[in-house]
Structures are given as C-alpha cells and as structure tokens.
Chains A and B, each alone.
Chain A
Amino acid sequence: EIVLTQSPGTLSLSPGERATLSCRASQTVSSSFLSWYQQKPGQAPRLLIYGVSGRATGIPDRFSGSGSGTDFTLTISRLEPEDFAVYYCLHYGSSPPRYTFGQGTKLEIK
C-alpha cells in the first residue's frame, strides 16, 4: 500500500514569496498518476496539477509541478493572497485500483 507524506505540515510565507511543497511516496510511483489539489476553507478541493506537471484549466502559470520516482513538488512561484490554502497530493495506483491522498500542507500567511 502506497503512503504519501507531504511536507511541511504548515508553511508560513508572505505574498510575493516562492512556495515549495513536497509529496513523497513510500515506493516508486508513476508520475502520470500524481495530481495536486487546492482547498480553501469552506470550499471543495480544486484540481491544480495533473500528470505531475500538467496545469488544469484556468490555473495560473505561477503554479507548477515536478518530480519523479518517489519525490514530487508543487511550486508556487510568487504567492498571491488567494493562494493561501491547504494543498493535497493524490496518487492513483492500478494494482489494485486505489487512490491515496497525502495528509495535506497548510500554506498560511506569515
């Protein structure tokens, strides 16, 4: 069973700064099946990045994804006030079919 560990648990930054969020898998996974989601308080999650580096429709280009093997990163190049939220990584595994979420990283205003 794959476990996704996100770090840090909480990240405190200021608008304009660069944010780097990590998602580490307990074993090698396919980068095609790794995606990232943003959740703001009181809202449903929203897809940001899929296939490691593909941006979902309407997502600004300050959001980018990278990584392979067991280590994946979501980068927000220059934080805007609306980016402060909780971020989750998600992996789909095919044998057996199963989805696994990371525990989340809270990005808060410093």
Chain B
Amino acid sequence: EVQLVQSGAEVKKPGESLKISCKGSGYTFTNYWIGWVRQMPGKGLEWMGIIYPDDSGTIYSPSFQGQVTISADKSISTAYVQWSSLKASDTAIYYCTRRETQYSGTYLQKTSDRFDPWGQGTLVTVSS
C-alpha cells in the first residue's frame, strides 16, 4: 500500500525554526515527485511546491519561494518543509502528497498529472 506518513503536530513561537517531514512507503520513493500543500484555518488548499527526491530538483510556487525550503533525503524516503523564522501567519495544516503522472503515445506525451495519495497532514501552530 502506498502511504505518506507525516510528522506530528507542532507548537512554536514566532521567530523559531521548524522542519516537518513526510515519509513515503509502499513504492519507489525516488521515482515520484512529492508536493506540499498548505491549508490555513478554515480556508482552501494552496500549492507550495514540489520536489523530485532522486535529485532534489525543486519547483516552488511564487507565493512560497523564499518563505520555506523543501528538501528530501532519499536514503530514508523522506521529504521535508522547513522554516527558518516562523510567523503567526504560518499557522496551518501542511499536507504532503505524491505527484502521479501518466504518459502515452510514441512521443510519451503527458496525459495526466494529479496528486495521490496524501499524507494525514501536520498541524503547525505559531503563537506567542
């Protein structure tokens, strides 16, 4: 069974640093991109970025570029998001998810791109 298991809830103060994790199992971790998605309290889903664990190639949403660092350690099948200096506005649930793509045809044209499955989420609370 393909699974993504995230680290537990965190309570931090403004200005502190934090690194949360997402461990993949049941598949070859290095073959799939991992995405991160933020959900602020009572709000919708926001894409933060994706990482390819095999070479740590990363693509950030412009909204999150410079605000977080996405990384991965392929030796332990784990992806991370980290903050160097948290703000109250970072309070949210953070989800990791696996990027699934499909290709077909002679020239391997991409025919699908979606996120499946999802981790259970990590609640990050930043409060003084």
Contacts and interface: CB of A to CB of B under 8 A. Distances in A.
Q: Do A and B come from one complex?
A: yes
B44 A45 contact: no
A32 B111 contact: yes
A63 interface: no
A40 to B, nearest CB: 12
B47 A47 contact: no
A62 B77 CA distance: 36
A51 interface: yes
Nearest to A88: B45
Tell me whether chain B's interface is mostly helix, strand or loop, or mixed.
strand
A92 B37 CA distance: 14
A103 B44 contact: yes
Contacts of B45: 37, 39, 45, 88, 90, 101, 104
B119 A98 contact: no
Contact of A90 (B59, B114, B117, B121): B114
Interface string B108-128: 001111111111110000000
Interface of A: 32-33, 35, 37, 39, 44-47, 50-51, 54, 56, 88, 90, 92, 94, 97-104
Identify the 5 closest CB pairs spanning chains A and B, nearest first: A99-B47, A47-B116, A50-B114, A92-B113, A35-B114
27 contacts: A32-B111, A32-B113, A35-B113, A35-B114, A37-B115, A45-B97, A45-B115, A45-B118, A46-B118, A47-B118, A50-B100, A50-B113, A51-B102, A51-B111, A51-B112, A88-B44, A90-B45, A90-B115, A92-B113, A94-B110, A97-B50, A98-B47, A98-B59, A100-B47, A101-B47, A103-B44, A104-B45
